[in-house]
């Protein structure tokens, strides 16, 4: 999800950068039409279980749409260079194995559905949140770094992001979990910069500093609508922890212009509770990546010793807001929590602790993606000033046995939607 969890853990996919067009260039009807253009869901014959298999859908697994023509850098320099980002790929222990959603249990079907933000728009809560979001920027504690800087005045803190949100790329993503990518892709918006400093980040070139043009709320809203117009099933905000206020401003702009797809909040889980409470009733799908269990590991690998505690608090709050993942009859995610966990080499005990906590404290029905695609990146394996290899203990991929042990730990914990 990495620069957030997502970016630091993701397998690279070729990106397609969306062209930016005016939000007013199309009406709500056209947007609704684009949204509903997917094929009907067909239950699998095998067991009659409801599954959404990308391989059986038009274009097949991993297929992607042709990119829209770039509009001469309308997003500004940097965005149209096509970052090969992934937000935390959807594979099982064997990398490259497409992950299918678990057979749909009636308890986890949500129908009818409308995005949560519509009710917030109608009853005025969304407008109130915009005011609160702007106030947050004036003395920023939007994430656990608690910088207390005035971002409205252009000051910056640990994330290096001021008034507006930098967007590194945006495109229909076909590497996400099946319930997100469906047949038309997940509409990912990759924000530049991050509030973590993961030494293994696979998107380090956009996570360590703001990357891409800084978009005002109306331009970010336009981008959301453009992804919806493409037919994407959702708007997937990748590494949004440090731009929550700006996201709220943009959603408020996009809803009256026709935004109707669910918002996916794709995060490292290093989120402030105050920001999550601002998002309550606006986000339908939370997708945190729970990375570490021990503070010392988080300090060493992400420069955030408080990460485990903050992430656990954040995930409990996310679950309180949206509950376990529920899907539509088409198998697409509608509302709920999707937890990712990247298996790291040599950290099997932390994996076991994390999965046990999820089953015990969050829900045995939690939808969990145990990811096996870690690879050494960024600072891992590079020499320090003395010529010693940095982070040599994670300078390898996890072994087959380690991945199998992680899945066994999930089963032992009682997690079944894995
Ligand atoms: S969002 Fe950025 S400025 Fe605000 S507290 Fe977090 S790191 Fe600091």
Confirm whether 305 is domain-assigned. yes
* pLDDT on residue 103: 57
Does the pLDDT of residue 50 top 60, yes or no?
no
Comparing 73 with 17, the larger pLDDT belongs to 17
DSSP code string of 45-104? SGGG-----GGGSTT-TT--PPPPPP-TTTT-TTGGG-----SS--B-SSTTPBPPPPPP
Q: How large a percentage of the chain has pLDDT more than 70?
A: 75
Q: Considering only 26-30, 68-72, 126-130, 316-320, which range has the smallest mean pLDDT?
A: 68-72
Asked if the structure places residue 61 within a domain, the reply is no
Closest residue by CA, ligand 1 atom 3: 157
pLDDT tens profile 194-233:
999 999 999 999 998 899 999 999 999 999 999 999 999 9
pLDDT tens figures, 87-123: 554 433 333 334 444 557 889 999 999 999 999 999 9
Whether 70 is in a domain gets the answer: no
The string over 88-107, giving b where at least 16 C-beta atoms fall within 10 Å of a residue's C-beta and e elsewhere, is: bbbbbbeeeebbbbbbbeee
Please tell me whether the peptide bond between 348 and the residue prior to it is cis, using omega within 30 degrees of 0.
no
pLDDT score of 106: 87
The CATH number that applies at residue 170 is 3.20.20.70
Residue 83 inside a domain? The answer is yes
Kindly state the average pLDDT of the residues 396-409.
98
Atom number of ligand 1 nearest to Cα 145: 5
Note the pLDDT of residue 39. Answer: 33
Residue 66 lies in a domain: no
Give the Å distances, CA to CA, from 406 to 359, 398, 403, 411, 412: 14, 10, 5, 9, 10
Task: Report DSSP state, residue 324.
Answer: B
Tell me the pLDDT band of 247, cut-offs 50, 70 and 90.
very high
Whether residue 368 lies inside any domain: the answer is yes
Mean pLDDT of 330-341: 97
pLDDT at 243: 98
Whether the CB of 272 sits within 6 Å of ligand 1: no
For 190, the 3-state DSSP assignment is strand
Domain around 393? 5-18+79-413
Nearest atom of ligand 1 to the alpha carbon of 148: 5
141-197: pLDDT as tens digits: 999 999 999 999 999 999 999 999 999 999 999 999 999 999 999 999 999 999 999
Give per-residue pLDDT as tens, 274-298: 999 999 999 999 999 999 999 999 9
The pLDDT of 347-361, averaged and rounded, is: 98
CB of 334 closer than 6 A to ligand 1? no
- DSSP one-letter code for 26: S
Distance (Å) from CA 188 to ligand 1 centroid: 22
Tens of pLDDT along 65-76?
A: 333 222 223 332
The helix (H) or strand (E) run that includes residue 339 is strand 333-342
Q: For residue 390, what is the DSSP state?
A: T
More confident residue, 45 or 65: 65
Residue 24 inside a domain? The answer is: no
Cα 78 to chain centroid distance, Å, stands at 21
Domain count, the chain: 1
Q: Is the CB of 242 under 6 A from ligand 1?
A: yes
Mean pLDDT of 258-280: 98
Q: What is the pLDDT, as a whole number, of residue 88?
A: 52
In a domain, residue 27? The reply is no
390-401 residue pLDDT tens = 999 999 999 999
CB 381 within 8 A of CB 331: no
| pLDDT over 90 (residue 348) | yes
Ligand 1 mutation pick, 134, 140, 209, 268, max ligand atoms within 8 A of CB? 140
Between 245 and 89, name the one with better pLDDT: 245
Q: Burial, 77: exposed, middle or buried (Cβ in 10 Å; 0-12, 13-18, 19+)? A: exposed
């Amino acid at each position: 999800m990495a620069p957030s969890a997502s970016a630091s853990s993701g397998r690279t996919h070729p990106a397609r950068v969306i062209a930016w067009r005016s939000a007013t260039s199309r009406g709500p009807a056209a947007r609704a039409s684009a949204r509903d253009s997917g094929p009907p869901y067909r239950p699998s014959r095998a067991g009659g279980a409801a599954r959404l298999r990308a391989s059986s859908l038009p274009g097949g697994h991993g297929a992607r749409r042709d990119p829209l023509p770039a509009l001469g850098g309308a997003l500004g320099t940097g965005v149209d260079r096509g970052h090969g980002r992934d937000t935390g790929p959807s594979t099982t222990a064997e990398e490259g194995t497409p992950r299918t959603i678990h057979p749909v249990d009636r308890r986890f079907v949500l129908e009818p559905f409308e995005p949560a933000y519509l009710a917030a728009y109608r009853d005025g809560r969304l407008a109130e949140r915009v005011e609160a979001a702007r106030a947050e920027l004036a003395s920023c504690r939007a994430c656990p770094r608690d910088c207390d800087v005035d971002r409205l005045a252009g000051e910056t803190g640990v994330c290096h992001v001021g008034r507006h949100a930098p967007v590194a790329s945006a495109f229909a993503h076909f590497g996400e979990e099946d319930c997100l990518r469906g047949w038309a892709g997940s509409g990912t918006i990759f924000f530049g910069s991050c509030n973590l400093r993961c030494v293994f980040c696979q998107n380090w070139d956009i996570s360590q500093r703001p990357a891409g043009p800084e978009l005002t709320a109306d331009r970010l809203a336009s981008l959301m609508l453009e992804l919806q117009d493409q037919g994407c099933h959702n708007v997937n905000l990748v590494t949004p922890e440090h731009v929550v206020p700006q996201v709220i401003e943009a959603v408020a702009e996009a809803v009256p212009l026709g935004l109707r797809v669910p918002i996916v909040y794709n995060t490292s889980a290093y989120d402030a509770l105050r920001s999550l409470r601002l998002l309550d009733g606006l986000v339908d799908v939370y997708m945190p990546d729970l990375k570490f269990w021990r503070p010392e590991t988080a300090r060493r690998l992400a420069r955030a010793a408080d990460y485990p505690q903050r992430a656990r608090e954040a995930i409990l709050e996310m679950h309180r807001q949206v509950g376990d993942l529920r899907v539509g009859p088409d198998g697409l995610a509608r509302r709920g929590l999707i937890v990712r966990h990247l298996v790291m080499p040599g950290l099997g005990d932390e994996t076991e602790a994390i999965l046990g906590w999820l089953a015990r404290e969050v829900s045995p029905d939690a939808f969990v993606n145990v990811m096996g695609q870690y690879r050494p990146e960024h600072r891992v394996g590079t020499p320090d000033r003395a010529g010693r290899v940095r982070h040599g203990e994670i300078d390898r991929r996890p072994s087959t046995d380690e991945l199998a042990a992680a899945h066994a730990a999930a089963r032992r914990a009682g997690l079944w939607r894995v």
